Amino acid sequence: MNTEPELLSTEFRALSARLGQDPLQVQGPGGNTSIKSDRVMWVKASGTELADAEAADIFVPVDLAQARAQAHGAGDGSCKDTVIDPAITLRPSIETTFHAALDCTVVAHTHSVATLAHAISPQGREVLRRKLKGMPFESVPYAKPGLPLTQLILSKVTDETRIVILENHGLICMGNTVAEVAGTIAEVEKRLALSPVIPDTQTPHSPALSGYVWADESWIAQNPRTATLAVSGSYYPDHVVFLGAGLPQSASDPSTPVILIKGEGILIRSDATPSQRAMLRCLGDVLCRVPADWQIEPIGTEAEAALLNWDAEKYRQALAQRS
């Protein structure tokens, strides 16, 4: 089958790169975009970064009919065997099934900080519904990325849906042109914008532990509310994948990427990967936008365990480790 490389237009690559280069939209190898014809869909490869969309071959062509079949239960949902070109060794995104199943030409999934700040909170989700009133959106409760999430999305969306809010996960915008999707993302971001409020940060007094440095996000540990939230659980999948469950308050082993010391600061390993640094920044970006009177809900220990023990995420971690 022809892979239809012409689908990867300059406009599509530019949108993908712009999203990937904005840490308020995408962090590290998170997020994914796709573009499809009647037969072929190009989707971001697992473990690659949208930021590189204009400079590297980060997209994989899949057989659209086969990927849609997997979305409806015919296969394991990984879509690894739907890749058209056998010379391509990269895996399709773990979220390929929902890209294939959604009946729009262009689909963009981000881990929008503004969306996350609303979607991790019961009060925030209510505010979000008011802010997005009049827009064609649906909200979907948290589900494990991949096939479980795809099937939940399909149970909620209609032919009119162009926006999907993924609770404790992120945002999907879709449309039939790149320009349409870009415009939808811009409107959602404008409506959901929350001003960051960062408390004054003091330079930690204690020397950093060997192998660690004090992070710019140390203000999280110095504020009683945000310190408690940061150690109380994980609020979206990529935090678990790259930083582990919540933020530990001691080093369980020498490779622990970050340590929160209440009242003092946050330590991050000197050799932390770009993905780990991006996810710590994301936590700060989210927490400084959640109003003080909103409660926030972690995904829970069972959901964390499902991500930590998942082969698809171990693969993505391994690729990120090389960067």
pLDDT tens digits, 100-147: 999 999 999 999 999 999 999 999 999 999 999 999 999 999 999 999
Q: How confident is the model at residue 254 (pLDDT cuts 50, 70, 90)?
A: confident
The rounded percent of the chain whose pLDDT value lies above 70 is 96
Residues 6+ away with beta carbon under 8 Å from 322: none
Q: What average pLDDT score do residues 216-236 get?
A: 97
Q: What is the pLDDT of residue 312?
A: 52
Q: What is the pLDDT of residue 257?
A: 95
DSSP 209: P
pTM of the predicted structure, to 2 decimals = 0.94
User: CA-CA distance, 55 to 228, in Å (whole number)?
Assistant: 41
Long-range contacts at 197-205 (CB < 8 A, ≥ 24 apart): 197/288, 197/289, 198/284, 198/288, 199/223, 199/226, 204/261, 204/264, 204/265, 205/264
Q: What is the pLDDT of residue 252?
A: 74
- Cα radius of gyration (the chain): 19
Residues 6+ away with beta carbon under 8 Å from 95: 32, 109, 145, 146, 149, 150
The rounded percent of the chain whose pLDDT value lies above 90 is 89
Amino acid letter, residue 239:
H
Q: Are the beta carbons of 108 and 162 closer than 8 angstroms?
A: no
Question: Of residues 252 and 263, which shows the higher confidence score?
Answer: 263
Q: How confident is the model at residue 34 (pLDDT cuts 50, 70, 90)?
A: very high
Q: Tokens for 132, please give them.
A: 């997005």
Long-range contacts at 274-280 (CB < 8 A, ≥ 24 apart): 274/28, 274/320, 274/323, 275/27, 275/28, 275/29, 275/242, 275/320, 275/323, 276/242, 276/243, 278/23, 278/27, 278/28, 278/242, 279/27, 279/28, 279/238, 279/239, 279/242, 279/243, 280/215, 280/217, 280/243
Average pLDDT of the residues of the chain: 94
Q: What is the pLDDT of residue 201?
A: 83
Q: What is the pLDDT of residue 58?
A: 97
- Quick one: which of 72, 76, 144 has its CA closest to 304? 144
Q: What average pLDDT score do residues 81-104 get?
A: 95
Residue 311, pLDDT > 80, answer: no
Q: What is the pLDDT of residue 231?
A: 96
Q: What is the pLDDT of residue 6?
A: 97
User: CA-CA distance, 289 to 118, in Å (whole number)?
Assistant: 9
Q: What is the pLDDT of residue 315?
A: 45
